[in-house]
Structure 1
Amino acid sequence: MANVQSLDPSASPLDYYGWELRRQREAHGLRQGQLGEIIFCTGSLIGQIETTKKVPTRDFSERLDAALGTDGVFSRLVGLVLRSQLPTWFQPYAEMEARATYISTYQAQLVYGLLQTEEYARALLSVDHPGRTDEFVAARLERQRILHSDHPPALWVVLSEAALLQEVGGHEVMRGQLGRLLDCLDKPWVQIQVLPFSTGQHTGLMGSFTLLRFDDDPDLFYVESYDQGHMTANPQVIKERSVGYARLQATALCPEASAELIARVMEERYGCQP
């Protein structure tokens, strides 16, 4: 890891963040411990972020801006930092997802990333990334900010019943995650349909996929494997997958019946009455 003498602010968003934090702190005549006391963290954490050993969170960045009077500099920069923590192959999709006006996704096994709770995401990401779980979780939560923006995308999720039954992180985590899905009933721009096992064979058996629509750009189809993602704007692929998605929507339970199934699984399988 870099030290304060060798940190190159042009190397990455994280390096720039650390370099700018040190510059602002010293400009205010503060030691690491003093700044830590002001924003309610340790001086050690300040030092680790300055030298890129730790990735800053949004909450940390907002407290920095308030303490140093930096007019939102760190709050704006942290978005770039967190996106840079996503796997390189996933970053192009995350950028397009953030620009989409309409997102349609079919999820065969897991809850879609934009709807995952922090605990659910942590349990998932800790399996393959035990040394970088905090960074990956923070990056995933950062992606979800688009749903809370002034102009959120319309999000339509068709979720296999398998995603409700696949236990991730234990009963408590699953109760929280299914509760999050039920909370979406209050969000008019989010629609969730569950595709029950009783459907039998269907057009989504090949696996999860996502369609992105934009105001001024061609539609995109996205699918991923274990260690890479694939995006295409090929009109024939978009047509075929759009028809396939419409068939999934027509076959799945309606949103109201889907909510009833989610609530029933939440109570009967995970021991909680929603």
Structure 2
Amino acid sequence: MVHIRALDPSASPLDYFGAELRRKREEAGLKQGELGACIFCTGSLVGQIETAKKVPTRDFSERVDAALGTDGFFSRLAGLVLRSQLPHWFQPYAEMEAKAAYISTYQAQLVYGLLQTEGYARAVLGNRTEEDLDAKLAARMERQRILEREHPPVTWVVLSEAVLHQEIGGADVMREQLAHLLTMRDRRWLDVQVLPFEAGQHPGLMGSFNVLRFDGDPDIVYTEDFVQGHMTANPEAVREGALRYDQLQAIALSVENSAALIARVMEERYDNEPGPDQRDVA
């Protein structure tokens, strides 16, 4: 007799997803392998998700909905499951980020999470450990869905020029990431500016920070240290954050000149591939 691991659906969104997947599959009279064949995956993967050993991707969830006729149930639940994979200390910020009408961010070292490519995000998230890396990556990509809404938040991004030169994941990953930043010019509600090295002393020297504004709720400022994030709606902190951000925008390059700098760094730093008669120098 096959032992079926019992799940407590109330234990976590992942456990609830697994328990519901098993229940709906059995209601449909399908074995794990049969459902897997319908959604182009293995029965083993279905079993791992049913027992909360694997995190379902959004694509998996959408395929399950189509196969079982569950009217988007698992697709809607996937967002909650993936958000639960974010670090516990980061989840409150992610929830506020998803509700924000305006997002202003200054990033001193890394591309902002909402603008990261999969390759870049994988390199950042796997820097210390690759444990649960696929789940962490899926959660990071899920956050970015707020930019695909019919009415996305108005988003202003100021990147230190150092972000363009800090090689994350190798030259190919960086080239793809910078090319992705250039595509942001096509988004009406999103602007990317670069704070050049020539700016010298500036209001962002203390590090990265975000200012979130809401329709009908107090604004917040968010910062991080090496342990966790800090979010506050203190009026003085918000006013200071907004002032610093306005000053950073004022001394950063224009959107057009920023795009030109990004393209130049991409070409000069990450697009120099050795020709057939050239060798890498050790």
Instruction: Note whether the superposition's TM-score is higher than 0.5.
Output: yes
Check the 8 A contact 2:202/2:248 in 1, yes or no: yes
* Equivalent position of 1:240 in the other structure: 240
Between 155-164 and 263-272, the greater mean CA deviation after superposition: 263-272
* Equivalent position of 2:276 in the other structure: none
Q: Say yes or no: does 1:155 pair with 2:155.
A: yes
What displacement does 1:271 show? Answer: 0.6
Among the aligned pairs, what percent are the same residue? 68
* Equivalent position of 2:132 in the other structure: 132
Q: Unpaired segments of 5 or more residues in structure 1?
A: none
Q: TM-score, normalised by structure 1?
A: 0.97
* Equivalent position of 1:195 in the other structure: 195
* Equivalent position of 1:142 in the other structure: 142
- What do the CA deviations read for 1:80-108 (whole angstroms, capped 9, x no partner)? 00000000000000000000000000000
Task: Tell me, in whole angstroms, the C-alpha distance in 2 between the residues paired with 1:241 and 1:174.
Answer: 29
* Equivalent position of 1:26 in the other structure: 26
* Equivalent position of 1:204 in the other structure: 204
What displacement does 1:132 show? Answer: 1.0
Check the 8 A contact 2:5/2:51 in 1, yes or no: no
Where does structure 1 differ by over 6 angstroms across 4 or more consecutive aligned residues? none
Task: Tell me, in whole angstroms, the C-alpha distance in 1 between the residues paired with 2:62 and 2:124.
Answer: 27
AA of the residue aligned to 1:112 = Y
What displacement does 1:127 show? Answer: 1.4
**3-state SS of 2:126 partner:** helix
Check the 8 A contact 1:105/1:156 in 2, yes or no: yes
Task: Tell me, in whole angstroms, the C-alpha distance in 2 between the residues paired with 1:215 and 1:181.
Answer: 27
Q: Unpaired segments of 5 or more residues in structure 2?
A: 274-282
Task: Tell me, in whole angstroms, the C-alpha distance in 2 between the residues paired with 1:5 and 1:41.
Answer: 21
What displacement does 1:272 show? Answer: 6.7
What displacement does 1:128 show? Answer: 2.3
Q: TM-score, normalised by structure 2?
A: 0.94
- What do the CA deviations read for 1:98-128 (whole angstroms, capped 9, x no partner)? 0000000000000000000011000111112
* Equivalent position of 1:39 in the other structure: 39
* Equivalent position of 1:170 in the other structure: 170
AA of the residue aligned to 1:225 = D
Check the 8 A contact 1:105/1:211 in 2, yes or no: yes
Task: Tell me, in whole angstroms, the C-alpha distance in 2 between the residues paired with 1:43 and 1:134.
Answer: 19
AA of the residue aligned to 2:222 = Y
**3-state SS of 1:75 partner:** helix
Task: Tell me, in whole angstroms, the C-alpha distance in 1 between the residues paired with 2:228 and 2:202.
Answer: 25
Check the 8 A contact 1:175/1:272 in 2, yes or no: no
Task: Tell me, in whole angstroms, the C-alpha distance in 2 between the residues paired with 1:261 and 1:82.
Answer: 35
Task: Tell me, in whole angstroms, the C-alpha distance in 2 between the residues paired with 1:128 and 1:42.
Answer: 30
**Between Structure 1 and Structure 2, how many residues are aligned?**
271
